[in-house]
Structure 1
Amino acid sequence: MSADAAWQEEAARLRAAPPRHLLFLCVANSARSQMAEGIARALAPASTRISSAGSRPTQVNPLAVAALAEIGIEISGQRSKGLQEIAPDVDAVITLCQEEVCPVWLGKAMRLHWGLPDPAAQAGDEPARLEAFRRVRDELRTRLAAVFRQPDGDAIRYGPATPEELGAVRALLERLHLPAADVGAPHQTFLVARSGADVVGCVALERYGEDALLRSLGVVPRLQGSGVGKALHAEAIAEAERQGVRALYLLTTTAARFFARAGFSRIDRASVPAALAASTEFRSLCPAAAVCMVKHLPR
């Protein structure tokens, strides 16, 4: 059985017997298990208790905090814990060690093993190390989204944002640490995803003649990995084509791989049309380290 098939089978086991108390284990309770705890808490029902621990606990790695903050999940208040601190009512345990010998939970519980590389072992400068944390974060998010499946995508409705919804859009972007100061400018078209009366995702086009800036693509943490982001991206592309946009540009600090899979190519920031380069997003809202990308649309 392939590694992908194995974890998908394990996710199905957890869905079939939803745990009341899910515990993540690794040695130091510093990186993988801390990120898993934060992501699971964002995705799981409120009735599910989420914990993490280690056999030799140290402290929460700051890069784990930074990687989750990028997707709107706050774990700066979490701390490393030993096994003896965990309540005995755990009914499902996921061990995350790959290179090390994982701690053992002696209580009665369903046991699963998701061996993932330790991002804290990544050599190099801080950007390279942070990228290792992002890879593990994204893998954990994919797996845990399969465990804690959200309502069917058919329950999500997509369409233009109303003026009254722009406040909710701004709040969502701020939660996700995305630029929000200029939301509502006249040359912007915001599209939103709605679950009931709640805005659960957004994306925007900012027009500059025949070109446009694709920006503000964000989804609430509990629905990340559920396909809402891909659907919003598709809505934005369709809207750009309806508006006759020739080329879509964007800046991203965290989602270059997602956009590359969607047909965007990396370009030098200096090659962006002057009108876009003068935009607030390019001039001041996005850091100089952000990746610049473009996608040319059919005429």
Structure 2
Amino acid sequence: MIKQKPLSVEARDNVRRTRKSRRRRGIISAIGALTMLGSVLFGGASANAALSSSMCDFAVFVGVRGTGAPAGSNLVHNGRVWTNGGLGDQVAPIRSALINVPDMPFYFLSLAYPATAALSPSIEDGRLKLIAELNYINQTCPYAPIILAGHSQGAQVISKVLTGAATSPLGAPFNLTPAAKANIRAVVLYGDPFYESGKLTNYPNRPKNGLLSTIPYTQKNSLATYNYLGWPAGSNSQQTVYKVREFCNIGDFFCQSNPGDSSYAIHNSYAQFANSVAGWITYELTDPI
């Protein structure tokens, strides 16, 4: 691993000023672009696409696909992530929306974990890889905000990383570093089987718990610790802003324990939120902390 030379205080201040200026310039045009995506949303990039080829340029998006979703290609970072594909058809539309936001070049990665029906080993593999990847991103690009998005089993992986104490295969403590945790700016969870009703991060709250909400691991309350004092969209006063949004469709088989959704049609209908999610992510990256 090649470590970057530490920046001076003056250089760090210049980086912050430059990036804040870029974000502020882009916010008005970004919001306008998001309202006009329409048919572009699920297609290719527009003429104003902002797709970064450098992980340290602006923000890093890491997607975690659901069970059975196709793998990606072009493994990097010791085989932890792909740079092409591997997001799944529920998370991929968020990428399609974000690359149409001008002046905000995102770098996209997808977690290279099994995503198989053998849940326990698959989730554990994903958890260890995601912790290692987020720590690596922060170490390599200490000023790059991190965005996370996962569907179904992918949401479970993210939930376990953000809320639970992890150990390495050798039993040693293995968690997100404080700096990596602080750099997480927005988290989107779709159809998480760990879902629990009544949590501050539910968007909006749903009345029932997920199929796997009662297993010993679950610590959903701690997701609310990912927050800051800021200005929520549409508000003119400072409030606690939560960095995590949990989406759970009414009638979802997994996050609402609904046997009527046996075809998983409801569980696999989160792509509809891509536009609003991209708008929220954009705002999270421009609302000052």
Name the TM tier (shorter chain): under 0.3
Higher relative contact order (CA 8 A, sep 6+): 2
Highest CA radius of gyration, 1 or 2? 1
TM-score using structure 2 length: 0.26
